[in-house]
Amino acid sequence: MDTTRTMDFKHPSVFNGAIMEEYSYTEKDFILSGITWPKRRTYVEDKSFISAFDQALQSKWLEKMEQGLFRYPLWSLQTKILPGSVKYVAQLNVKRGIERRKPQDIKSIQEKFNPSQFNFNKMKHDEILFQMVRSEMSSGASMDLGRKHSRTLVVINVSPLEFGHVLLIPDPSLCLTQILTPDLTLLGLESILLSGHPGFRIGFNSLGGFASINHLHLHGFYLDEELLIESVQNKPLCPQINFYQLTNFPAPGFFFYTEGKDLVSVSQRICQVTDYFVNRNIAHNMFMTRGSNPASTTCQREGIRVVIWARKSCFGAKEEAAFNVALCELAGHLPFKNEEDFNTLTEESVISIVKSYLFSEEEFNTISMELVEQFTN
């Protein structure tokens, strides 16, 4: 992997009257192949697979941590793999459960933006790492998508769940609600391809799916562990557009697969699914990760899997004692809130909690058939 390119910060812009650096990238910076899991290494110590994007994000994130801008320090978390076939990655993160901002009182997946509640226009400028700017755009992306979001900020999550936890926020002044858009989805896909780390993940929680703020954003973070979801078996639904259904996994869902050559159309199809959920007031979560080709028998992570779950809505301040069932937990990553549950919960008990937030098999199959009909028509 070529790691010679350095951080490219040019043309500072302004946010709330303060100067903000820009991180510029092109398609040439995408790492389309060769991302595999090592036998064991730590991304903080081993720089051999750190891209320019990783270098920019991690160095600035660590600066913010040293400056005390987070609600609690996070350098490493106690981590273990739960015994069982799913290989849940359990982490003890007590501070997040205590210090995390109280979720807003949301009553609808389509709730309107409320400027009186906390939103990203009210965040501190010091929490911004940089603004992402694509300096060259393919004609297809420009014509088909238009990049309606004029800028996307990369901001620290002040209550981090893992190393490098950031938020990707389209221009906050647009006051967009927490409904996924094709151009933000495209940026999420591009961010995965800009990273040289197999464990850099991107995710989205809808309103009613444990999103705590009704202001459009994605989550991004590093997890130095493999997840079963990267390679789990699948059932083809619309193979001509690389649309599949997860099988042999506790949280059944849908996923798209791409090797980076059709990002615009993939981002649009992802939002066809999430728009279907929004229009029917179905809460949902999304998770992007490097993963294996569902049509291949190899375990090479040569592309990206984008998994989308339909789930029961959770409104108000209701939360589980052990962990909230959102994008991480559905994917197999469990940030535990307390030591007792971290030490005692088994794979069986975790699966029971997760399934209590999901639809019945009959309801899931109905959603599956309707999505297939939508794409085939």
Tokens of 305: 């899997």
Max CA-CA distance within the chain?
Answer: 54
- 3 state DSSP class of 166: strand
Residue tagged 């990783």 (tokens): 54
Catalytic residue at 125?
no
**What's the rounded Cα separation, in Å, for the pair 253 and 346?**
22
Q: What's at 347, amino acid-wise?
A: E
The DSSP line for 210-275 is T---SS--EEEEE--S--GGGT--EEEEEGGGTEEEE-SSSS--EEEEE-SS-HHHHHHHHHHHHH
Strand pairing report for 152-156 and 200-205: unpaired
- Kindly name the residue from 215, 217, 284, 333 that is annotated as catalytic: 217
Contact 309, 354 (CB under 8 A): no
CA neighbours closer than 13 Å in the CB half-sphere of residue 49: 20
Query: Which residues does the annotation mark as catalytic?
Result: 217
